[in-house]
Amino acid sequence: MNSGTASGDLHADLLVIGFGKGGKTVAAVMAGLGKRVVIVERSDRMYGGTCPNVGCIPTKGLVHHSRKRRPTDPAQEWYEQSVRKVQAVRETMRSGNFDAFNNTDNVSVVTGPATFIDPHTVNVGEGVDRRAISADTILINTGSEPVVPDIPGLRESTHTTSSTGLIENPTLPSRLAIIGGGYLGLEFASIYRQFGSQVTVFESSPKILAREDDDVAAVAEGILIGEGIDIKAGTQVTEIRDIDTGATVIYQQDGRQQGLDVDTILPAPGRAPATRGLNLDAAGVRTTERGAVEVDQHLRTSQPHIYALGDVNGGQQFTDISLDDSRIVLDQLTGAGRRSTSNRVAVPHTLFMTPPMATVGLREKDARAAGHRVRIASKPIAEIIGMPRAPAVEETRGLMKFVIDAETDKILGAALISIDAQELVNTVALAIRHGITATDLRDAIYSHPSSTEAFNDVLAASSTAEQPQPAAG
């Protein structure tokens, strides 16, 4: 109804702090039921939350544009055009999110940082612009923020950037160092290498993707290295020194100190719940040792009328989890109150390298450790005759691997590195949730030519393991 520049105190049925996926979904439903809703967002650049503004949507846009660049296209010019196109999409989504709520009679969008003054009230703004907003029910949906590791010189360096700063800068870094080889770091490594940057990834673990089975991690690493990404695993970055031509990353590897000169440094060790400034103590809301808002399986905080959704509650940091959080909260507010985080089964995840790597369920090593007798169905994409889409689009890199319970024929998990893996994994996840057998998935009729019909081929060639055995590595 009103933007955040207006003054005056407000009372609402529902106050949502943060414009992310979970909170805005609950807000829309409750507003549709006639409830008075107020959404507070710290920044006018974040209407709609992290995903459409600085997360999923712009980064996947850059994935798309980076892959369209031909060797003859000037790297800097192509990158600058790509950033402009991605920003245009972002602006459309941002304004669309704002207008969808601000043009609704019983919803107010207020812009500014929120600070609790008691369990039912927050202050937004300062001085004459300060307004108090109280509500019967409050959702904390403030998301997460980048973690900058405590490395001497890193924070002070003029060449250190955040993921947000990197994707908004129209200048392509010629030499990019990424500190952290997790999903965020590897995704950015893949994007910027395709745009033409020299990319070096520093990972403290002995290998990247250490949680995955060795065969899966090796395929993913081979693809990244094959594209020219320099992965320095088993390294410890000890210092950043600014120099006339950029910065030097000082690191230890194999007991030796070495240095690498770069233009831009992206710390990518992960993200932490964004609770700074909320003054949660005044609300009587407890936090965990890691700084997340403490919640129960129904996402209630230590105050029964306050819920925490999305990254801020310390759960998995994915937009799809935030959406499911909204379902749990809505069931508490308008339903039977039975839905909880314990209902989640087979949540898929995707690393958007190219081709993407998508996983769901148990890894082979975890299934064996849990005592399952397993069959493994695995094939390199290049050897899957029944997947003509891969050679048709000239993307035959990757692997499909299924972990199957040898006694029940149920699918326990899968790792898919292939064209369309981010879509294929959803079919596998659905099969796991509903107890569809590997035989059923193998014998299903899929459209042709499609990537899904690879299941016909891969699942026809599974090996049996009679006894639990440790996975390699």
CA-wise closest residue to 351 among 425, 264, 412, 430: 425
CA-wise closest residue to 159 among 45, 273, 272, 260: 260
CB burial of residue 83 (10 Å; 0-12, 13-18, 19+):
buried
Number of residues that make up the chain = 473
Contact call for residues 335 and 325 (beta carbons, < 8 A): no
User: Tokens 């207006």 — which residue?
Assistant: 6
CA-wise closest residue to 406 among 444, 456, 364: 364
DSSP state letter for 294: P
For the four alpha carbons of 145, 425, 62 and 224, in that order, the dihedral sign comes to positive
CA-wise closest residue to 234 among 219, 251, 214: 251
Q: In sequence order, what DSSP letters do the residues of 162-208 get, joined into one string?
A: -HHHHHH-SSPPSEEEEE--SHHHHHHHHHHHHHT-EEEEEESSSST
CB burial of residue 470 (10 Å; 0-12, 13-18, 19+):
exposed
Annotation says 448 is catalytic: yes
Q: Which of 159, 349, 372, 448 is catalytic?
A: 448
Q: Can you read off the two tokens belonging to residue 119? A: 């369990």
Q: Can you read off the two tokens belonging to residue 26? A: 């609950």
Helix (H, G, I), strand (E, B) or coil at 403: strand
Contact call for residues 214 and 472 (beta carbons, < 8 A): yes
- Residues acting as catalytic residues: 448
